[in-house]
Amino acid sequence: MTSPIPRALAAWSEAPRVRSLNLCNVRPEGRYVLCWLQQALRARDNPVIDAAICLANDLGLPVLVYHGLREDYPYASDRLHRFILGASRDLARECRQRGLACVQHVDRSDSREKGLVYRLASDSAAVFVEDQPTFVARWQAERFASRTDRAVLAVNAACLVPPAVLGDDIGSTTAFRRRHQPVRGDWLVADELHPATAPYQGALPFASDQLETCTDADIDRFVEHAAIDHSLALSPMFPIGRDGALAKLERLMDDVLPSYAAARNDATRPEGASTLSPYLHFGVVGPREIMATVEAAVAPANAKEKFADELLTWREWFHYQARALPAPERYDRISGWARDTLEAHAPDERPDLESLDAMLHGETRDETWNACQREFLIDGWMHNNLRMYWGKRIIAMTPDPKTAWATACYLNDRLSLDGRDPSTYGNIAASFGGGAPGRDGPAVYGKVPNRSDGSTRHRPGGAEWLETAARRSPPTRLASEPLPSEPYLEGKQDV
């Protein structure tokens, strides 16, 4: 049981995004309404911030936005840390432009702030967090809500359509699309709320890092001195911060949408992919802003429809699915028939087994798989059309289906900037057995339909493209580490 949401929020136009995470009441005597951002790192078109403003205006209080970055989140690396810090810097800049105070903490050996969210919360009237269905954000928000004495309200910022308006009974992508499509139009435009009080300037329980004034070189210094994995290099394909996201939106409008319908399935054509997924994962841009770009673009209607189907049907379906699962990252989320058939075939002879190190570095005996993996390794992203082949081949490269699941999640989560997302686990589960079972037979896969590399290899120039892609060389060799056991989050960190 949880508290009802406060009246001011219940009357807000985006109220279905909000749910209460505990039984505590709002305390109007607080100094501010705290808005703790974990992953939705943008100041505008951010329903978590807007919900906080809605309640704060009703209470006559300011909003205090907080973002913290620790060193011990799973897979912390130069690649992820720099991307997150760039987003956080721009969050602070744009909060100021919106008339909001934003405080930040970058955890490091000479500046530790144990229990900072609890201390910030103790001066608040209520705390807003994100309603994220996977990975660290979900676990931390739930744990925090169960231990604080402040009201904690979770807000969905990731989806265009709040999952709560869709009901709880959708069981397939087709049914999801049918329910989702007719209501999309209701959520394409949102009124931006304006804070009614001046930005918070009162006492704080810590000295905030001023990321807003950081240059890229300052950010590099934070990264350099952090106790994180320094062997995973940055990705030149994804410039940090809002400028990076805005450049991708411009590219979407000018280069991608006009040919999206035809080029989308062709990994050899860069214009077939928006490469927006890392910015979406870290909330630097939201689906509403992307859809506004799609609507403004001069592009064929079928290209716009196809793109909207990927962004709104497929992405939001995986969010919808994940929120109903107790642990979307776990092997047992794979459909029952797929687990049964894969486990029945676990003793099959496995001539394609590879070591974790060979897989990590894209040095297996499978040239196409290496080409896929090197996109993860070097770019921190992989083309959509390669990912299904990549996921399915891991089943044959590992000794049993549980190890296959753990390996796929590990490679995706450690290397890809868009990893650790509802789309990660939903798509890996789909590659291990989405849809209907096939005829039982093939060794190792049983009834799980397999996928060849033909859609890339047999295109004109495809074989040459794969050969070159498989030979790309990463700037560094990765530090090896044991395969994480699942669920790999529990007990890892508090805030």
Ligand X SMILES: Cc1cc2nc3c(=O)[nH]c(=O)nc-3n(C[C@H](O)[C@H](O)[C@H](O)COP(=O)(O)OP(=O)(O)OC[C@H]3O[C@@H](n4cnc5c(N)ncnc54)[C@H](O)[C@@H]3O)c2cc1C
Looking at the Cβ atoms of 33 and 395, the one nearer to ligand X is 395
Residue 313 binds ligand X, judged by CB under 6 A? no
Residue 310 binds ligand X, judged by CB under 6 A? yes
Which residues have a Cβ under 8 Å from the Cβ of 185 and sit 6 or more positions away? none
Looking at the Cβ atoms of 102 and 252, the one nearer to ligand X is 252
Classify the C-alpha dihedral 54-90-132-117 as positive or negative: negative
3-state secondary structure of 154: strand
**Candidate residues 165, 262, 388, 463; the one interacting with ligand X per rule CB under 6 A:** 388
Alpha-carbon dihedral 162, 316, 65, 191, rounded to 10 degrees: -50
Q: Is there a contact between 401 and 445 (Cβ–Cβ < 8 Å)? A: no
- Least distance (Å) from ligand X to the CB of residue 182? 20
Give the distance from CA 322 to its chain's centroid: 12
Stretch that binds ligand X, among 113-121, 167-175, 329-337, 385-393 (CB under 6 A): 385-393
Residue 391 binds ligand X, judged by CB under 6 A? yes
Residue 427 binds ligand X, judged by CB under 6 A? yes
User: Under rule CB under 6 A, how many of the chain's residues touch ligand X?
Assistant: 27
**Candidate residues 431, 445, 456, 470; the one interacting with ligand X per rule CB under 6 A:** 431
Tokens 């305390």 found at = 27
- Least distance (Å) from ligand X to the CB of residue 272? 7
- Least distance (Å) from ligand X to the CB of residue 81? 18
Give the helix/strand (H/E) hosting 430: helix 422-431
Residue 424 binds ligand X, judged by CB under 6 A? yes
**Candidate residues 79, 150, 180, 315; the one interacting with ligand X per rule CB under 6 A:** 315
Q: Is there a contact between 448 and 341 (Cβ–Cβ < 8 Å)? A: yes
Looking at the Cβ atoms of 176 and 318, the one nearer to ligand X is 318
Give the distance from CA 46 to its chain's centroid: 15
Residue 428 binds ligand X, judged by CB under 6 A? yes
**Burial profile 137-172: b = 16 or more Cβ within 10 angstroms, e = fewer:** bbbbbeebbeebebbbbbbbbbbbbbbbebeeebee
Give dist(CA 280, CA 273) in Å, integer: 14
| One-letter identity of residue 486 | E
Residue 384 binds ligand X, judged by CB under 6 A? yes
Stretch that binds ligand X, among 121-129, 222-230, 384-392, 433-441 (CB under 6 A): 384-392
Looking at the Cβ atoms of 123 and 418, the one nearer to ligand X is 418
**Candidate residues 214, 240, 245, 311; the one interacting with ligand X per rule CB under 6 A:** 311
Which residues have a Cβ under 8 Å from the Cβ of 397 and sit 6 or more positions away? 352, 353, 354, 359, 364, 366, 369, 404, 407
Looking at the Cβ atoms of 123 and 266, the one nearer to ligand X is 266
Looking at the Cβ atoms of 200 and 432, the one nearer to ligand X is 432
Which residues have a Cβ under 8 Å from the Cβ of 76 and sit 6 or more positions away? 70, 226, 228, 229
How many residues comprise the chain?
495
Looking at the Cβ atoms of 62 and 272, the one nearer to ligand X is 272
Q: What is the footprint of ligand X within residues 247-286 (CB under 6 A)? A: 264, 273-277, 280-281
User: 238: which 2 tokens?
Assistant: 């994804």
10 Å Cβ neighbour count for 309? Answer: 15
**Candidate residues 118, 206, 222, 314; the one interacting with ligand X per rule CB under 6 A:** 314
Looking at the Cβ atoms of 255 and 494, the one nearer to ligand X is 255
Stretch that binds ligand X, among 29-37, 188-196, 225-233, 387-395 (CB under 6 A): 387-395
- Least distance (Å) from ligand X to the CB of residue 255? 11
Residue 323 binds ligand X, judged by CB under 6 A? no
Residues making contact with ligand X (CB under 6 A): 264, 273-277, 280-281, 310-311, 314-315, 318, 384, 387-388, 391, 412, 416, 418-419, 421, 423-424, 427-428, 431
